[in-house]
Amino acid sequence: MRKCLVCEKGNLVKVEDIILEIEGYIFVVDGLRCTHCKEEFPYPSETDKVIDAARKLGVWPEPLKLYRHLSRSGGGLMFRVPVDLEKQLKLDEKTEIAITKVGNKIVIEPKE
């Protein structure tokens, strides 16, 4: 038996009831579960099947990369959020966002 990669205390056992939830859709897949910490590891082939099904259902979109020009407003720069992203992320003018610099990238996400 293989030891758990997370807790290193339990053994990984085969299971057939790992539940993956994507945008309200429930998928039940095979994989391994730790006997100690209960961490689950779906088999890669099972994960691939879920991704294929989710893409067919339209709930697993391809990565999105948009290009926009910045505008100047007052003393700073600003950019516009496209309407389709606004709707998908359920944003409005009251939504608080977090802006993070990660290396040479800017990550903007709604505050949860």
What are the extents of the domains in the chain? 12-57, 71-110
Residue 82: band (very low, low, confident or very high) from pLDDT cuts 50, 70, 90: confident
The topology under which CATH files domain 71-110 is Pemi-like Protein 1; Chain: D (2.10.260)
Query: How far apart, in whole angstroms, are the C-alpha atoms of residue 9 and residue 23?
Result: 33
Tokens 């800017």 sit on residue: 106
Residue 10: band (very low, low, confident or very high) from pLDDT cuts 50, 70, 90: very high
Note whether 96 and 108 are within 8 A (CB): no
Is the pTM for the entire model greater than 0.85? Answer: no
SS3 14: strand
Residue 9: is its pLDDT beyond 90?
Answer: yes
Q: What six digits make up the tokens of 88?
A: 């998908």
The stretch 41-55 carries a mean pLDDT of 92
Residue 40: what pLDDT?
94
36: left (phi over 0), alpha (psi -120 to 50) or beta: alpha
